Structures are given as structure tokens and as C-alpha cells.
Amino acid sequence: SSRFCEVQQAPPIEVFAVSKAFTDSTSEKKVNLSVGAYRTDEGKPWVLPVVRKVEQELAADNTLNHEYLPILGLETFATAAAKMLLGSTHPAITGGRVTAVQTLSGTGGLRVAAEFLGRVLKYNTAYHSAPTWGNHNLIFKQAGFTNIAPYRYWDGEKRGLNFDGMIEDLSNAPENSVIILHACAHNPTGVDPTQEQWKKIADVMEKKKLFPLFDSAYQGFASGDLDNDAWAVRYFAERGFEMMGTQSFSKNFGLYNERIGNLMVVVKDTACITPMRSQLTLLVRGSYSNPPCHGARIVSRVLNDPALFEEWKGCIRTMSGRIIEMRKGLRERLEKLGTPGTWDHITAQIGMFSFTGLTAAQAKHIADKYHIFLLSSGRINMCGITTGNIDHVAEAINDAVC
């Protein structure tokens, strides 16, 4: 018998399973509202024109080759990415208190962060919002964190933030707990704290000596404005926190499969940077040795060239603008149909996702009867909605709720 026969079947990853159900469906009216990727109003993936242009330039550039990148990646990329997150005039940047390394997208950045915090700083406790992006728990678990707990976040009844619950849970977290915070456009709820609330979150975290880890997967993609979407991260850094920030360029550059991301660390003492980078080097060396180059070259060129940068900002406004339009359209239709319940949360939430409040049974009904595929949590990807299918989606939700 096989040495592998004791291996147990692991549970499926829901978002990929639901996407497969969509692909397998033969219905002409099928709609995929599960996976977090942008779609045009024609329901197609979008290669940003600025990305296409830079790729053509790269392809024509005979000076480029396929040599290894350094272990910590392309420096022009990592530096520009950190400036994008904190703002180039941020005191942490001008004071040289920021270091950054290229990672395998946001997921890889989180994993390197977790490995560093666990193995080097010996932290073992991490908190994530309830609910959160499903991978947070898995990443920290696999990095060896033995104590992973949720903090309250979503209030199902008011379909908004459970701010008091969040503050209470953070107040009870032990010193040096890693607190995973969504920089903007919280996944899956689309609900972010207000600036006043962020200030109170920072107060508690400062008092309790908790460690902020900002997961920034949607900068610019959420509101269309890079500065606005980075407000919380910048505020924490200004308050003097030592902290980490992970960045994903999957959504805002549409570079999902290039695995391009960044891990940024803000420190109090610049002398800590060199030893810290040496430890990060060991962690990366022992896991994937060095990162891929294509995405880093693209993002680096765009962020470091004022004209391309402006062009890219236009692209993120196009994407965020379309999402905001679809939110308005869906809410209007549900209200017009007289669908029971309130639907203002659809337009109040921001970013790619909306936490509709639909139950698992309602999600199943919608999939079975209307061939519209969403997660059992009721999370929908707004980008899956187009002017062509929005009536169909609204009718399906209405039918499921009635």
C-alpha cells in the first residue's frame, strides 16, 4: 500500500470551488460574483492599457535579461511601492525609517511578515477581523503562530462595523499581539472604520503595545484615490508605531498572476534595518530564493515615471468608478423592486466586495435557479456585475430574499 494512503482529503478552498461551478455551468445567463478579480462592463478581464504599453517596451528592450533578481527583489520597485503606500514626503520615508522588500504578491508579503514576526521576534499571537479574507488565518497558522484569534468587526444586524466590539477585543489582546488590519476596502465586508474610529483603534493599540500589520490589497482601487486609500496606514506611521504593511499589485495593476507585492517595515531606529534585512534574506532564501521579475519591472517603471504614473491613476479611476456605478445601480434596482430589507449598505460599502447580508441558503438558491455564483457568506464581487446582467442579478437577489 502507498505511504500516502493516510493522507486525508483537505477541505476545498471555497472561492476556487465556486468559480469552477461557474465555469462548469452551461447557462447563457451565468454570472460569477465570487472570485476577486476586476471585469470590464463586457464581463472580460482587463489588461490596463498602461501595463500593455510597458510590457511592449520591455519586450523590445534588448538590454534586459532573465538573470536572477536579488533575494529581496528589485529595489527600484520596493522603494517606489513603499513611497506609494506612505506618501513620498511622509516623515518615516524622509527619515530613512522604512525598508521594503519585494514579495510574491500580497499573500507572499503576509507570509514573509508572519515568518519574520514568528521566527525572529518570537511573536505567537495574531488577531484578524471577524470575518476576514480567508487566507489570513491559514498564512499565520502555516507560519507557526499558535494563537490566532478573531476580533469582532462586522455587525450583521446593522450591516456595519461593530466598533465597540472591535475596541473591546483589541483591549483584551496580550502585548505584542499582531493585529492584522485591512488598510482599506475591507474584504469581505467592504466596511472600513472612519478616520475618527481609526484614531481610537490606534489609541488602544498604542496603550496595549500591539503590533499593526496593514494588509493593503486595494490601494487606489477602492476610492480611485491613492492617498485616500492609504490614510490609515499613514496615520499609524505618523503616530510613531513600528509596523508592517503588505502591498498587493494584483487588483490595482490587474497583475494577478504575476505575483507582485511588497512588504514594508517602519522602524524607530534606522540601525535596526540592516540586521532585519539580513534575517528577511534568510527567510526568503529558504522558501523561494528570490522573486520573479516581470511584474516588478512593470510596476517599477510606472511608479517611477511621472507620465506613466498619471496614466495609471486614470486606469484605477476607471475601475473604481465602474464599481461605484454598479453599486448604485444594484441598490436602485433592489429598492425599486421593493426587496425586503435595507440596501443602502450596498453603496455605503467600498471596494470590490459587498457583504450583501444574503444567507448561505439564499446564495445556493441564486446559484441553482439563476446560475449566479457567490460565496456562502453572501459576499459578492461587484465587478462581476455589468450593465448587461445587473437586472438579472437584482431579480435573483429579490427572489431569494422574498
Residue 106 Cβ, how far from ligand PMP at the closest point, in Å?
3
Span near ligand PMP by CB under 6 A; candidates 51-59, 91-99, 101-109, 293-301: 101-109
Judged by CB, which is closer to ligand PMP: 116, or 133?
133
Residues 271-300 that bind ligand PMP (CB under 6 A): none
Question: Taking CB under 6 A as the rule, does residue 187 contact ligand PMP?
Answer: yes
Phi, psi angles (nearest 5°) of residue 398: -60, -45
**Contact pick of 106, 193, 224, 291 for ligand PMP (by CB under 6 A):** 106
DSSP conformation class of 257: G
Nearest alpha-carbon partner for 349 in 334, 331, 376, 372: 331
By CB under 6 A, name the one of 32, 99, 105, 389 that touches ligand PMP: 105
Dihedral (C-alpha) 141, 144, 149, 155: value to the nearest 10 degrees?
Answer: -40
Binder of ligand PMP out of 169, 215, 229, 258 (CB under 6 A): 215
Active-site residue flag, 215: yes
Residue 399 annotated to the active site: no
118 binds ligand PMP (CB under 6 A): no
Q: For residue 177, which phi and psi values (nearest 5 degrees)?
A: -70, 140
End-to-end CA distance of the chain: 54
Q: Is 133 annotated as catalytic?
A: yes
**Could you say whether residue 133 binds ligand PMP (CB under 6 A)?**
yes
Beta carbons of 218 and 232 less than 8 angstroms apart: no
Q: Return the residue matching grid coordinates 451565468.
A: 30
Query: What's the CA gap between 101 and 339, in Å, rounded?
Result: 48
129 binds ligand PMP (CB under 6 A): no
- Alpha-carbon Rg for the chain in angstroms: 21
Phi-psi region of 234 (alpha: psi -120 to 50; beta: other; left: phi over 0): alpha
Query: Which class for 210: exposed (0-12), middle (13-18), buried (19 or more C-beta within 10 A)?
Result: buried
| Residue spans of beta strands (DSSP E) within 88-153 | 98-104, 125-130, 147-152
Q: Is there binding between residue 217 and ligand PMP (CB under 6 A)?
A: yes
- Contact between 250 and ligand PMP per CB under 6 A: yes
Nearer to ligand PMP, 133 or 140 (CB): 133
Q: Which is nearer to ligand PMP, 87 or 351 (CB)?
A: 351
| Binding flag, residue 261, ligand PMP (CB under 6 A) | yes
Q: Which of 169, 251, 312, 343 is catalytic?
A: 251
Question: Under rule CB under 6 A, which residues in 1-60 are in contact with ligand PMP?
Answer: 36
Which spans of this chain sit near ligand PMP (rule: CB under 6 A)?
36, 105-107, 133, 182, 187, 215, 217, 248, 250, 256, 261
Catalytic residue numbers read 133, 215, 251
